[in-house]
Structure formats: C-alpha cells, structure tokens
Amino acid sequence: LCTPGVLSLCCRPPAWDRATRPPSRPLQPPGLPLAPCRSFSNNKIQVELDESSGVAMMKFKSPPVNSLSLEFLTEFSISLEKLENNRACRGVIITSAVPKIFSSGLDITEMCGKSMEHYAEFWRAVQELWLRIYGSNMVTVAAVNGSSPAGGCLVAMSCDYRIMAENPKFSIGLNEAQLGIVAPFWFKDTFVNVVGQRIAERSLQLGSLHPAPEALKLGLVDELVPEEKLMEKAAAVMAQWLALPDHARQLTKTMMRKAVLDRLVAHREEDIKNFVTFISKESIQKSLRMYMEMLKKRKS
C-alpha cells in the first residue's frame, strides 16, 4: 500500500521486517512495574495505546454527533499516522465516546457556503483519511456504537471488521442520495468490496440507512452484539486477527485493497476538482441547505 508521496505515512516497514530490528526503546529494567499504556488526546479524538497487547483504542469525542469537520479529519489522520509509525502498535479499535452516535459523517457545514479553496482543502482531507484507514497496515476494528451515516459508514467500512451494537434504532449506510449529492467512486468501491455490486447499487441509489439488524443481513456489518458487550467483543476479534503473522495478513490486505486505493491515488486531483465543481453548484448548495433545515426542524 506504499504509493510514493501519497501513502508515505503508511509506509512503515512491514512487521516481519520490524521483528528483526532492535527494539526502539530500551527494555524495562527488571523489578519495575510495566507502564504499558500511552495515551494522547486531541480536541476531538482520544487515543490510548496498550503497549503490552499492541492494541490502541481510538474514541471519537466531538459532540453532538462526531461530524467529520476539517479539524476532526486532520486529527484523525494524524492520530492514525502516529499509531502507524509506532512499532508497538499492531491494531486499532475505533469507536465513539458520544452516546448513540458513531459518526454523523462529513460535516455538512464544511460543504455549505464556503470558498472553492476551502472545499478543495476539505476534500483532500477526506481523501487522506480514507487512504490512511483503508490502506492501514494495522488491524482495524470498528466498534459501531451508534448511528453511522455516509462518511461515518465509510470510516466503518474501511476497517477490517465491523461490530455493531444490537440496537435497531442505530442505522448505517451511504445516504448521500437523500441529501441530493452523489457518493464518489471510492466510497462506492469500498461499499461494493464490503457488500457486493447488487446490494451496493440498490442501497446507494436509494440512499438507504440500514437499521443494525438489516445491516447484518446485508453483510454491511460483520456481527451485532449487545451494546454492553461491544468492547469486549472488539477486543476478542482483535486478538483473533493479531494471532496471525503480521506480514501474511498485511500482504493479503494489500492484495485485496490495492486496486481500489490506486484508483483514487491516480485520480486524486481530478476527484478534488470534480468535488469542488459539484459542491459549488447553486442547486447542490440549495439541497444541502434544505437538508440542514430538515435536520433542525425534525429536532423541534
């Protein structure tokens, strides 16, 4: 997954190479208690790495709905980069600290009434994040503990495994069509790779949001568990994936995902231009404004 200049930050040496190198930190002196947990917290995301298991927990904490603003996307990418470059980290569980919401997707206010330059910067950040998660060397498990429309669904779909809380009120899907916008080809490619062409075609055209039990039937999530068991299950799944040799798993992941990643990398600038042209259209701006008004009305 190491496309020069684009995924450079994902290009840490593969684990089989790392295993032969000296440890990056001196070994703990005997008799001292281990200090396996490292955490870093930004404004919108909290990350805790358990160095003894090699598993990081990443929690979105941007109320009310964990919308993916430019700031959020930037923090998210930087957090992944830090973990990716940390030899002690082999896997990450992604979840939310906001009750009932995993992520409400891209922050619509970033796509409304802003300059062309802003749209371009925003879209580059969305691309960057997807390239990082979808192309990550780490094992990535999404513990979807709330609703997860559009960009939120993309984040979950880009992980290696998805576990969702068994609550029919939580839904997940690519609902862009409902907003009057069109999911770009790499959202679609990711979706097709998870659920297959037919389900993706129907679900995308209808902009469907699937309640958790339906998402399981469609294969959009891998399993449902009671909400209180979600983290325990995520840890068990992670342990199962980490039991395999990293190099075999990573090379297999690369084989499965490379074509889709390469497609965006090859058309990145064109994709940004398309987005900026599309989103700047008055008709699209109007659709987004109406959608935001609908969200507010529904509330009152």
Interface positions with ligand CO8 (CB under 6 A): 64-65, 67, 101, 104-109, 147, 149-151, 175-176, 179, 181-184, 275, 278-279, 292, 295-296, 299
> Of 118, 114, 21, whose CA–CA distance to 73 is shortest?
118
Active site residue 176: yes
* Catalytic member of 154, 176, 179, 230: 176
Which residues on adjacent β-strands are paired with residue 37?
Answer: 50
- The least distance separating ligand CO8 from the CB of residue 207, rounded to whole angstroms, comes to 9
* Catalytic member of 9, 80, 83, 106: 106
- Nearer to ligand CO8 by C-beta: 9 or 98? 98
| H/E segment holding residue 45 | strand 45-50
The one-letter amino acid at 191: F
Active site residue 193: no
- The least distance separating ligand CO8 from the CB of residue 193, rounded to whole angstroms, comes to 18
Rounded-to-integer distance, Cα 3 and Cα 276, Å: 25
* Catalytic member of 145, 175, 209, 224: 175
> Of 92, 94, 25, 110, whose CA–CA distance to 238 is shortest?
92
Rounded-to-integer distance, Cα 206 and Cα 31, Å: 61
- Nearer to ligand CO8 by C-beta: 210 or 253? 210
- The least distance separating ligand CO8 from the CB of residue 106, rounded to whole angstroms, comes to 3
Nearest-10 crossing angle of helices 282-299, 268-280: 70
Active site residue 135: no
- The least distance separating ligand CO8 from the CB of residue 122, rounded to whole angstroms, comes to 10
Active site residue 151: yes
CA angle 126, 129, 123 (to 5 degrees): 15
| Catalytic residue IDs | 106, 151, 175-176
